[in-house]
Amino acid sequence: MSHEIKDLNNYHYTSSYNHFNTNNQNMINLPYVSGPSTYNANMISSSQAGFDLPSKNLSPQGAFELGFELSPSSSDFFNPSIDQENGLYNAYNYNSSHKSHEVVGGGCATIKSEVRVSPSPSSSEADHHPGEDSGKIQRKREAGDGGEDDQRSQKVVKTKKKEEKKKEPRVSFMTKTEIDHLEDGYRWRKYGQKAVKNSPYPRSYYRCTTQKCNVKKRVERSYQDPTVVITTYESQHNHPIPTNRRTAMFSGTTASDYNPSSSPIFSDLIINTPRSFSNDELFRVPYASVNVNPNYHQQQQGFHQQESEFELLKEMFPSVFFKQEP
């Protein structure tokens, strides 16, 4: 069955931000909000948001704790570190020494659907992400081409795999929704499903259907809170959102209409400010891009630091930042 919700108004809504959803998805206020390591902690602080957090989450790291408890694999994705090699998130001035205090830095966060963004480096030794797709495919192909070269090929592949693993940015976030596969504007093909240890809920594996785009995402439901869906994106899209997939996120809201402080959307989404990522930037800049010219190629042209930061975010969460033209 297709997971597309073609008939729903929220078709274009991104899963992770489905608190914007005006349709009936049984969205429930999430009592915790957190950002990830890099974006995260500073962006959203659950413990200070005044939610009715479970007692176990009352610590500044409450949200993280929940995330880590969800599943062993999930915890990897919330690893609050950064890939210093690819430097992908360096723009956020992340300092790993702050990782245990990032959440503290936040102010008030009000959000209806939790957004846990966690660009996790794959470089960590503890970050075990076996089975990198490209590597496997290559391995199989090479193995099939010539038997004598198998071992040598495999060694090369293994090396490549390690290198690739180090450079795969991951972003995880949790969404309170009953929908398993949430729309984010891109087209995905499900290529696998596995049972998750200690969880009655399976984990689904999706791959971006766009050619030459090796972005993958995993979707699993928290066994502790079945209403929470954990989505993990791996790598970045190298293409714009498919044009036939329109993001209705901001439909009805024009550039002139938009006001972060008064918007019914963002009035519920007040995210803490990362050290190098202010609220103003978080919302104003993307909107500027959205409303002025949501063109992918222009995204490619990061003119300064702020924009480059948003490029990453926009790629990670395109449907948050883009309004696709009809």
Partner DNA sequence: CGGATTTGACCCGCGC
Partner DNA sequence: GCGCGGGTCAAATCCG
Residues near DNA, by CB under 7 A:
1-4, 71-73, 128-133, 136-137, 139-140, 154, 158, 161, 187-197, 203-205, 207, 209, 216, 218
Shortest reach from residue 275's CB to DNA, in Å: 30
Tell me the C-alpha distance between 298 and 216, whole Å: 24
Shortest reach from residue 138's CB to DNA, in Å: 9
H-type alpha helices, the chain: 40-43, 62-70, 72-77, 133-145, 150-167, 279-292, 296-299, 305-316, 318-321
Shortest reach from residue 196's CB to DNA, in Å: 5
Shortest reach from residue 71's CB to DNA, in Å: 6
127: tokens are: 């970050």
Within 10 Å of residue 191's Cβ, how many Cβ atoms? 11
Shortest reach from residue 280's CB to DNA, in Å: 36
Residue with smaller CB distance to DNA, 56 or 158: 158
DSSP 24-61: -S-----S--B--TTTHHHH-BSTTTT----GGG-STT
Q: CA dihedral defined by 314, 319, 322, 324, rounded to 10 degrees?
A: 140
Shortest reach from residue 116's CB to DNA, in Å: 17
Shortest reach from residue 149's CB to DNA, in Å: 13
Find all residues with CB under 8 Å of 235, minimum gap 6, and list them: 168, 169, 214, 215, 216
Place of tokens 């990362």: 274
Residue with smaller CB distance to DNA, 110 or 154: 154
Tell me the C-alpha distance between 163 and 167, whole Å: 7
27: tokens are: 């969205």
Residue with smaller CB distance to DNA, 52 or 148: 148
Shortest reach from residue 99's CB to DNA, in Å: 20
198 φψ region: left (φ > 0), alpha (ψ -120 to 50), beta (else): left
Residue with smaller CB distance to DNA, 112 or 207: 207
Sheet containing 170-176: which strands, arranged edge to edge?
A: 170-176, 228-234, 216-221, 202-208, 188-195
In DSSP terms, 208 is beta-bridged to: 188
Pairing, β 188-195 against β 170-176 = unpaired
Residue with smaller CB distance to DNA, 39 or 205: 205
